[in-house]
A and B are shown apart, each in its own frame.
Chain A
Amino acid sequence: DTGVSQDPRHKITKRGQNVTFRCDPISEHNRLYWYRQTLGQGPEFLTYFQNEAQLEKSRLLSDRFSAERPKGSFSTLEIQRTEQGDSAMYLCASSPPAGIFYEQYFGPGTRLTVT
């Protein structure tokens, strides 16, 4: 197993363009998270999937952001009409089906730069 993968690793886009990121979790993991991390800050929760269902979404998440996990495997995060404030590292994490405790396994992230 190669762990959580994210694609692309880096993305430079012009303001107003749409971008889409992909996350492939560890194969047996049914839980998937998206986070945003800006310089000097900790990861900020964006959304959570259990299998294909999007169960939680941050209230801070603009409606320009949408995420899907259509078959309960890989997930995509789309940002429409990007703004300079969207520049950040976007992290994906997955967790196995478990009881009370489960750790998150993070991917390497996608660094977005909006010019």
Chain B
Amino acid sequence: AQKITQTQPGMFVQEKEAVTLDCTYDTSDPSYGLFWYKQPSSGEMIFLIYQGSYDQQNATEGRYSLNFQKARKSANLVISASQLGDSAMYFCAMREGLETGNQFYFGTGTSLTVIP
């Protein structure tokens, strides 16, 4: 089974609107971390936001927020007030066994296009 599933290959959003990028994960480990990265066309991966499995509140970082639904094993990224510079690939990732594990699992990504 896939550890990380991103079901939206491509998304479009109007500038200044909000958009939600979906991510579901699969793990039996009670201790894990969820990450979102942005990859512009230049290729470099940029860290956006992190959510720990024991965190009670959803993570927020500026215009980025993570809608964490533990029972559903989903960790959707919400980008508010989209900007043209948000056009990029977005990857959801997970690290299991935060005390001992070191391997990160990435999804296949969602390509976001912001329309002026």
Residue of A nearest to B49 (CB): A103
B47:A42 contact, CB within 8 angstroms: no
- Give 1 or 0 for each of A74-115: 1 = CB within 8 Å of chain B CB: 000000000000000101010000001101111111000000
Is B98 in contact with A100, judged by CB distance below 8 angstroms? yes
A43 touching B43 in the complex, CB below 8 Å, given contacts A100-B99, A101-B52, A103-B35: no
Q: Chain A residues near B35: list those with CB within 8 A.
A: 103-104
Contact with A along B37-69 (1 / 0, CB 8 A): 100001111110010100000000000000000
Could you tell me if B108 and A41 are in contact, using CB atoms closer than 8 angstroms? yes
Contact indicator B102/A48 (Cβ below 8 Å): yes
A86–B114 Cα gap in the complex (Å)?
Answer: 33
- Docked complex Cα distance between A31 and B50 (Å): 18
Beyond contacts A100-B99, A106-B44, A108-B43: 7 other A-B pairs, Cβ-Cβ < 8 A, are: A33-B102, A42-B107, A56-B103, A93-B45, A104-B104, A108-B44, A109-B43
Distance of A80 from chain B, by nearest CB (Å): 24
Task: Determine if B103 and A42 form an interchain contact, defined as CB atoms under 8 angstroms apart.
Answer: no
